[in-house]
Structures are given as C-alpha cells and as structure tokens.
Structure 1
C-alpha cells in the first residue's frame, strides 16, 4: 500500500520552515512546550475556519465519518496545520456511550481493525498521526493497541494517547513498535464554559513548572475557540506544534 502520509521526519522540516508561524519560531528552541489538539473536527465548517483563523500551531483531529472531514483536513494540511485521525473506539461504558458503527470494538478482529484504520486513513489522507475518540476500553487492550501500532508504524504516523483511562497502555505499546507518542495531560473543555476552559489552559501552563512539555486536548466548540482567542497572548510563548513533544 502506498504511504500517503508525510513522514514524521519530513514533517519536522516542513514545520520549521513554514512562514505561517514564523513570528513564533524562536520558542521552538525553548525547553517548556505546550501542545494543544482540537478533537471532533469535521462537522462544523464555519467553526473550523474560525479555529484556523487563530493562526496558532494547533493540531486538529478529524472524525473519519464526519461529513466535512475530507474537505477540511485537506485544507488545514495545505495551510500548515497538523492533521490527525480521531479514531472512534470502544469506551468502558459502552453501550451507554456509543462511538458509532465505524469504531474499533473489543470484538473487532485484527483484519477488521486494519480495514477500519485504512478506511479512516483514506478519508483523511493528509493525517500525520492518530488519537482515540472515546476508546477507554481499547486503550487497555494489548491486542488492539498492537494492531493500531502496527498500522501506524507501517504508515509513519504518530500516536497521541488521549488517556481517557488512567491505565492506558498507549504510549508503552507505541514505544515497543517504534511509533512516536505523547500522552494527554489536560482536557481543557470538559465544561463548555469560557472561564472554566481558560482555567484549564492556565492549569496546563502551570504544569510546565514541573514538566518540560504538556499535551492538552480540547474540542471543536464555540467556547473553546473563544477561550483560546482570549488567551492567545499568554499561550504564545509556550505553544508549539504537537510534533515537538513526541517521544
């Protein structure tokens, strides 16, 4: 199968030279780094374009079955943003929370898991990485995590562990396969409230006092956009593309 992904090594070079973030290039050399991933992309075109207009080095994770994911992911990639597959997978409380018919479940065979991943990749061919949508059950399950890592290794993609369960084995399995990985430390918008989200962003910044890097995850909603817009000056000295926190 032809590898349509931008290899991670090439992506690093591209991200260094992109003029869109030239004004912020110096902070890439700094020790303290905050990366933010915006999940659930692909449903709201107008709101997606507002996030894009922030001109911040955010990463955007697109749901493969969302109606506008193909169109938007191509556009975001062409404009220098990191694009990811937001892969639906089984949560612990399924069926109360249902990730949908194209999700990876505990009973999904290896062949079907790889088929689903390939389908998602065809929907979002500019993806440089993948993270889980829901997925707390899958993140605990070694066989399925190994299937996913095998796929990511083959296509040169990285993995962001959304850590929807504390004992996720995501990055541990990624390391075994030589897949670059980073783990989410903060969800910024569990409450759709601007003041709460700003507080979570400050929490992420505060974590940098004890850590060299922090990955935060938010979602494509109006309140998260507004909080990022209001805090763009405070975030600027630390905010980097997610590829710069991969290990």
Structure 2
C-alpha cells in the first residue's frame, strides 16, 4: 500500500547560497557548518514524516478493525431489531367450506374491543347483533359464544381468530377486525362506576390441586388469577378459572438481582441472553394456554431495570394485543414507564399483600391498599395462593361494598394509575 506523503510546513527547504549556486570548493571549510546543519535538518524532517505516516496508518487500520469487530458482535442483535420493526400480517388459512370472518373492508364498522361498556357492565358493542354501521349494515363479525361464570358474569369464549399456531403452540394475536385479546377476554366491569377501584392479582397459581381449587372457587370472580407457565395442565386450569368468573393472566418469569441463587425457572428471560433467545422464551410462555388478558412479571428485579433487554419484550406483548402488569419487585423498575411509551396497556403493583403470610400483616396490607385507592382512585395488590391469603381476601372482599370501594378485575385498571 502506498503511504500518503505529508508536507510539514515548518520544514521548508532553505534557499541555496551564492557559493552553493556557484559550485564552491568542496574542500573549503567555510560552508561546512551550514551543510551539516542542512543535512541534520533533513534527517529530522524525514524522521517526523515517517512517524506521522506510521501514526496515520495505525489509525486507519485500527479504525477499520474496530468497525469490523463491532459488526461481528452486534450483527445478530441488529438483525433481530430490524425483524421486530417489520410490519407483520397473519393471514388465516380457511378450511374447505369455511366462510371468512367479515372485516372493516366489507363495508361494516370494526367492533369496539372489550367488555367494558354500558352501565349494566356488559359489552353491548361486541354482543348486540342489531348494532349497525353507517350504512345500516351489521357492524363486525357475528357474536362469539360466551362463558357464563358461576357468579352470572359472561366472559368471551376463546376465539380462534385471535390465535395463531406456531410450532404447535397457539399464540395470541390481534384479530383481523382489530379486537385484542386483553380486552376481549376481560371480565366485564362498569367503567361508569366512579368509586375508588381496587384490583388484586394472585400470582403463581396452578401448583397444588387443592390450593388451586380453593383460589378458583373461594375467591370472588373479580380477583384476577395469574398462572405459572410451568403448570402441566395449565390450559384446563385456566379454563376452569374463567368458568368461575376470573380474569386470567400468565406469570412472566424474569431475571432477579440474585440470579441464579433465585431462579424463576428454565424459561426465564435473562439480560445475558440474546434478543432472539429471549423472544423465543417469551413465545413459549405465551403459547401455554389461550384465553388470558396478559402477563404479570414474576421476580424480574434485574430484568425490569435494563431497557435494552426489556423493550423488545414489551413490544412483542403489544404486537399480540396483551396487557402488562408490573409486579415491581424492584423500586428501580422502568417497565411501566416503557410500556406507557409504546401504548402497551399496563398496570403496576402498589402493595404485596402477603409478603409476611399472617392474618395480621395481610389485613394491614389490605387496609393500605384501600387507602391508596381513596387517595389515587386506583390501586393494585399482588398476592400468592396461600390458605391464609385466600381466607383473608375472601373476608375482606365482602366488606368493600359497605366502604364505597369497587373490587375490579385488573383489566379495569389498565392505563389508569398515574406514573411515578
């Protein structure tokens, strides 16, 4: 490679003297010192030119090497981020004789998603077959079957148009008519109710047949149940919970600060994993069972503080029409703020109800939850499936009506709480 020449302005060539131009006697001692000085200056100039050229060559080669190294290290992450940003369209393949689901391009009007509507707490927009569009035509698809719960509340049945099959797993998706799983599968609630609202999410549900059955049958239907993704018969248990009137969610295991001493399980999202690996784990969790409204963070005191790891997960949840509940196992969690920034429906925990599993401390935590609801209009508590917790929650729920507080499913708190 030919190195560039560098001219140094401070090493100007000295003009020749008259004696030099005239070809003076080389044996004459008079011009000896000027010739020596000139020779010395020339050597210094050549030395400086060589040093400058070497430095420039090192900078060029080093910069090129650094760029190549950066590309090799970050290529996978960069490619994954670009995949996430690409618009995606899921097109259902119809079986022979199956009619396509009407959508907004057929002249109708998209159905307003969600079961929260009129003063009776029912979603008339989604279930009224007489609702019409601007031209008097039927608006949206035919009503889906409903699950009539034990307490008389009607929940939407699992809708095949809100599912995509991927590697034998059924993953939630936004429907072709714009309906989203989080609002479609929500327990109906009267949003005109102006009373302070309290929501309770019981996490880690599904382990132990007896305690799971107690949580499903003894707790009011307005208390939401979040199931562990590691439960073997999770689909059956979640369907059983919905039949009892409970809104259901999935626990989303995330890296805690003291991982691996505290290990949320083999599908835990980790800051040390690549973006692709974390999204693969997320898909495995989301495909465990259908009919849920969203996810609740399980542990995550480390993962929920790292934006680069967390944001792609939240974007994946939003693209699938789900709700996100931040248990806030760390006060440093930025999950709720990031969810709000991308319009992901969200709620966050105000009080861990049974951190100390005793009747006295649970009652005290529930009183604190009531106080938060009165001050801020909305409050969320996180509980575990423990016998003492189920017993105290059941008693407490029966007192709220007389206190002027509404017990609400977690979906009725979505985007209501003020950020810190």
TM, length-normalised to structure 1: 0.89
Change (3 A) 1:126 1:13: farther
1:213-228 counterparts in 2 under 5 A? 213-228=378-393
Tell me what 1:34 maps to: 198
In 1: Cα distance, 2:194 partner to 2:207 partner: 35
- Mean CA deviation greater in 111-120 or 13-22: 13-22
SS at match of 1:10: coil
Change (3 A) 1:26 1:125: closer
- For 1:161-184, what per-residue CA distance to the aligned partner results, in whole angstroms no more than 9, with x for missing partners? 101111211111111221011110
RCO higher in 1 or 2 (8 Å CA, sep ≥ 6)?
1
Q: Is the 8 A contact 2:121 2:190 kept in 1?
A: no
Q: Is the 8 A contact 2:247 2:409 kept in 1?
A: yes
Q: Is the 8 A contact 1:62 1:73 kept in 2?
A: yes
Tell me what 2:410 maps to: 242
1:107-122 counterparts in 2 under 5 A? 107-122=272-287
Question: How far 1:209 sits from its partner (Å)?
Answer: 2.7
Change (3 A) 1:65 1:164: same
Q: Is the 8 A contact 2:357 2:389 kept in 1?
A: yes
Change (3 A) 1:245 1:111: same
Question: How far 1:101 sits from its partner (Å)?
Answer: 1.2
Q: Is the 8 A contact 1:159 1:179 kept in 2?
A: yes
Residue 50 in 1 paired to residue 214 in 2? yes
- Mean CA deviation greater in 187-196 or 9-18: 9-18
SS at match of 1:48: helix
Greater gyration radius: 2
Question: How far 1:47 sits from its partner (Å)?
Answer: 1.8
In 2: Cα distance, 1:185 partner to 1:2 partner: 40
Question: How far 1:93 sits from its partner (Å)?
Answer: 1.3
Residue 12 in 1 paired to residue 180 in 2? no
Question: How far 1:8 sits from its partner (Å)?
Answer: 9.7
TM, length-normalised to structure 2: 0.54
Question: Residue 183 of structure 1: which of 345, 348, 352 is its match?
Answer: 348
Change (3 A) 1:21 1:29: farther
Residue 210 in 1 paired to residue 210 in 2? no
Question: How far 1:114 sits from its partner (Å)?
Answer: 1.4
Question: How far 1:199 sits from its partner (Å)?
Answer: 1.4
Change (3 A) 1:99 1:32: same
SS at match of 1:47: helix
Change (3 A) 1:25 1:145: closer
Question: How far 1:28 sits from its partner (Å)?
Answer: 6.0
Count residues in correspondence.
243
Task: Decide which structure has greater strand share.
Answer: 1
SS at match of 1:216: strand
Question: Residue 165 of structure 1: which of 324, 327, 330 is its match?
Answer: 330
Q: Is the 8 A contact 1:140 1:169 kept in 2?
A: yes
- For 1:86-105, what per-residue CA distance to the aligned partner results, in whole angstroms no more than 9, with x for missing partners? 01111011122111111011
In 2: Cα distance, 1:192 partner to 1:173 partner: 32
Task: Decide which structure has greater helix share.
Answer: 1
In 1: Cα distance, 2:377 partner to 2:295 partner: 23
Question: How far 1:198 sits from its partner (Å)?
Answer: 1.4
Change (3 A) 1:38 1:31: same
SS at match of 1:37: strand
